[in-house]
């Protein structure tokens, strides 16, 4: 399997202006993470969701599955907000790992709160997670799902088969129906999903023009306003 760190690029700062993006992207790329900055931003997003927002961990949610040299090292998947074909930032993430031959797990599904109204990023990551594992010989895909997300997984053809308590919280142990997840053999390329409520083409090509055009065209200003 190709190393997650085999492709290098100049790392981006998590606190860069890209993180201040206020409008929906025109599209999102769903893929296996392959660049250093993608993995770094995915881990930063996990800290914001699981440590700061949900307070399930104190300062870091990384565990043995995230360590580079472990046999069961997890694969990181990301949803990347895109402008004019350029990947701007990680807006959602999940990870998968093989627990035993043919048995895979998904975990740490997180969507940036600024992009949850897209309503498709988590589902798209789940689709690639199961389909890419299916291509690698998976015959059983499981996840311990937070109860507030159980209905989402049920709609995506998962079945609850048990209950586990993790971090003092009840989770639904769920199994994916692999018949609905055909194998995906190009996970590093992944696929694109169109953004909902995406900015107009003028705003996408030149966001700074919003401030110039708005006073002359109130309607354009309203349509370009943040959600």
Distance between CA atoms of 210 and 203, rounded to whole angstroms?
6
Render 2-45 in DSSP notation, one character per residue: --TTSS------TTSGGGG--SPPSEEEEEE--SHHHHHHHHHH
Closest CA relative to residue 22, chosen from 177, 218, 192, 210: 210
pLDDT attached to residue 3: 38
Query: What residue spans define the domains of the chain?
Result: 17-137+183-196, 200-227
| SS3 label, residue 17 | helix
Q: Where do runs of H (alpha helix) occur along 106-149?
A: 121-135
Cα gap 152→149, rounded to integer Å:
5
In a structure prediction context, what are the per-residue pLDDT tens digits for the chain, which is 227 residues long? 333 333 334 444 444 444 445 568 989 999 999 999 999 999 999 999 999 999 999 999 999 999 877 778 999 999 999 888 789 999 999 999 999 999 999 999 999 999 998 989 999 999 999 999 999 999 999 999 999 999 999 999 999 999 999 988 999 999 999 999 999 999 999 999 998 876 544 344 333 333 333 333 333 222 232 22
The strand ranges marked E within the chain are 27-32, 75-83, 86-100, 103-111, 140-146, 158-166, 169-176, 191-194
DSSP bridge partners of 169: 166
**Residue 179: predicted pLDDT:** 98
pLDDT of residue 71: 74
In the prediction, which pLDDT does 83 show? 83
The fold of the 17-137+183-196 domain, in CATH, is Aminopeptidase (3.40.630)
* Measured distance CA(24)–CA(117) in Å, rounded: 9
Residue 196, both tokens:
């909902």
């Amino acid at each position: 399997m190709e190393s997650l760190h085999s492709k290098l690029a100049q790392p981006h700062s998590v606190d860069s202006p890209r993180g201040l993006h206020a409008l929906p992207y025109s599209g999102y790329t769903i893929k296996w993470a392959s660049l250093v900055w993608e993995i770094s931003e995915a881990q930063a997003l996990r800290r914001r969701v699981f440590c700061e927002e949900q307070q399930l961990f104190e300062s870091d949610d990384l565990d043995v599955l995230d360590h580079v040299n472990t046999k069961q090292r997890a694969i990181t998947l990301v949803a990347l907000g895109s402008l004019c074909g350029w990947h701007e930032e990680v807006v959602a993430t999940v990870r998968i790992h093989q627990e035993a031959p043919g048995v895979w797990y998904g975990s740490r599904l997180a969507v940036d709160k600024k992009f949850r109204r897209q309503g498709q990023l988590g589902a798209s990551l789940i689709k690639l997670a199961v389909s890419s594992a299916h291509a690698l010989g998976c015959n059983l895909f499981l996840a311990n799902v937070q109860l507030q997300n159980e209905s989402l997984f049920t709609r995506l053809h998962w079945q609850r088969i048990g209950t586990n308590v993790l971090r003092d919280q009840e989770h639904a142990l769920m199994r994916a129906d692999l018949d609905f997840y055909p194998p995906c053999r190009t996970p590093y390329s992944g696929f694109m999903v169109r953004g909902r409520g995406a900015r107009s083409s003028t705003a996408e090509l030149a966001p700074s023009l919003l401030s110039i055009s708005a006073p002359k065209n109130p309607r354009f200003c309203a349509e370009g306003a943040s959600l």
